[in-house]
A and B are shown apart, each in its own frame.
Chain A
Amino acid sequence: MIAHADNIPSGRHPLVKFILRWLLTTNHKEIGTLYLSFSFLLFFIGGAFALTFRAELAQPGLQFMGADFYNQMVTLHGLVMVFGAVMPAFVGLANYMIPLQIGASDMALPRLNNFSFWIMPFAFGLLLSSLFMPGGAPDFGWTLYAPLSTTYGPPSTDFLILGGQLMGISSILGAINIIVTIFNLRAPGMTLMKMPMFVWTWLITAFLLIMAMPVLAGVVTMMLTDRHFGTSFFEASGGGDPLIFQHVFWFFGHPEVYIMILPGFGIASQIIPTFARKPLFGYASMVYATAAIAGLSFVVWGHHMFATGMPLATELWFMYATMLIAVPTGVKVFNWVATMWDGSMTFETPMLFALGFVVMFTIGGFSGLMLAVAPVDFQYHDTFFVVAHIHYVLYPGAIFATMAAVYYWIPKWTGNMYDERLGKIHFWTAVVALNLTFFPMHFVGLGGMPRRIADYALPFTGLNTFATAGAFLLGVTQVLFLYIIIKTVRGGPKATDQVWEGAEGLEWTLPSPLPLHTFETPPKVD
Chain B
Amino acid sequence: MKYAFSCSGRGRLAFLLFFLASGAFAQGWDMRPGVTEISQDLRALHHMSLWICIIVGAIVFGAMFYTIIAHRRSKNPVPATWHHSTKVEIIWTIIPTLIVIGMVIPATKTLIEIEDNSDADLTILVTGSQWKWHYQYLEAGFGFFSNLSTPTEQINNIEPKGEHYLLEVDNPLVIPANLKVRFLTSSDDVIHSWWVPDFAVKQDALPGFINEAWARVPVPGTYRGQCTELCGMNHAYMPVVVDVIPEDEFQEWIDDQRIALEAQGEAAIAARSRDWSMEELMPIGEDVYLSNCATCHQPDGSGQGITYPAMTGSAIVNGPIEAHISTVLNGVAGTEMQAWGPQLSDLEIAAVITYERNSLGNETGEVIQPLTIFNSR
Contact = CB atoms under 8 A, between A and B. Distances in A.
Contact of B27 (A277, A316, A463): A463
Interface stretch (B83-91, B138-146, B253-261): B83-91
Contact of B60 (A242, A337, A463): A337
Interface string B79-122: 11111110011001100110010011001101110110000000
A454 B234 CA distance: 8
Given A68-B233, A285-B89, A446-B32, A378 B200 contact: yes
B270 interface: no
B329 interface: no
B242 to A, nearest CB: 14
Contacts of A276: 71, 79
B190 interface: yes
A344 interface: yes
Contacts of B107: 319, 373-376
Interface string B180-217: 00000100011101010100111110111101100000
A521 interface: no
A16 interface: no
B353 to A, nearest CB: 24
Interface in A24-69: 58-63, 66-68
A479 interface: no
A518 interface: no
Nearest to B298: A66
A355 B68 CA distance: 10
B45 A363 contact: no
A448 to B, nearest CB: 4
Given A135-B306, A337-B60, A457-B165, A312 B115 contact: yes
Contacts of A397: none
Contacts of A139: 232-233
B206 A375 contact: no
B20 A461 contact: no
B365 to A, nearest CB: 32
A523 interface: no
Given A370-B53, A379-B46, A446-B32, A148 B111 contact: no
Interface in B149-165: 154-157, 161, 163-165
Interface in A485-503: none
A279 B4 CA distance: 49
Q: Which secondary structure dominates where chain A touches chain B?
A: helix
B109 to A, nearest CB: 9
A236 B104 contact: no
Query: Chain A CB within 10 Å — which of B23, B60, B164 has the most?
Result: B23
A218 interface: no
B112 to A, nearest CB: 7
Contact of B79 (A308, A330, A344, A367): A344
Contacts of B19: 462-463, 465-466, 469
Contacts, number: 334
Contacts of B243: none
B74 to A, nearest CB: 9
A327 B112 CA distance: 25
Given A276-B79, A463-B20, A330 B96 contact: yes
A443 B202 contact: no
A141 B230 contact: yes
A136 B305 contact: yes
A37 B155 CA distance: 41
Contact of A346 (B41, B72, B115): B72
B157 A63 contact: yes
A447 B32 contact: yes
A148 B31 contact: no
A295 interface: no
Contacts of A373: 45-46, 49, 103-104, 107
Given A154-B307, A319-B107, A242 B191 contact: yes
Contacts of B28: 446-447
Contact of B236 (A282, A312, A316, A453): A453
Given A346-B73, A373-B103, A330 B92 contact: yes
Given A309-B206, A440-B20, A323 B81 contact: no
Given A344-B71, A452-B235, A447 B207 contact: no
Contacts of B225: 448
Given A152-B336, A282-B89, A463-B19, A312 B111 contact: yes
B191 A148 contact: yes
Contacts of A285: 84, 89
Interface string B217-256: 0000000011111111111110000000000000000000
Given A147-B189, A455-B166, A62 B203 contact: no
20 contacts: A67-B237, A71-B230, A152-B190, A281-B83, A307-B228, A312-B112, A326-B100, A340-B68, A341-B63, A343-B79, A344-B78, A369-B49, A370-B50, A373-B107, A448-B32, A448-B197, A454-B235, A455-B236, A457-B164, A469-B19
Given A151-B334, A378-B202, 20 more contacts: A62-B157, A136-B305, A141-B230, A147-B189, A278-B79, A278-B83, A308-B206, A315-B115, A330-B93, A331-B89, A338-B88, A342-B82, A343-B80, A366-B53, A369-B52, A375-B45, A376-B46, A378-B200, A456-B166, A458-B163
Interface of A: 58-63, 66-68, 71, 134-136, 139-141, 145, 147-148, 151-152, 154-155, 235-237, 241-243, 276-285, 307-309, 312, 315-316, 319-320, 323-324, 326-327, 330-331, 333-335, 337-347, 355, 358-359, 362-363, 366-367, 369-370, 373-376, 378-379, 381-383, 436, 440, 443-444, 446-448, 450, 452-466, 469
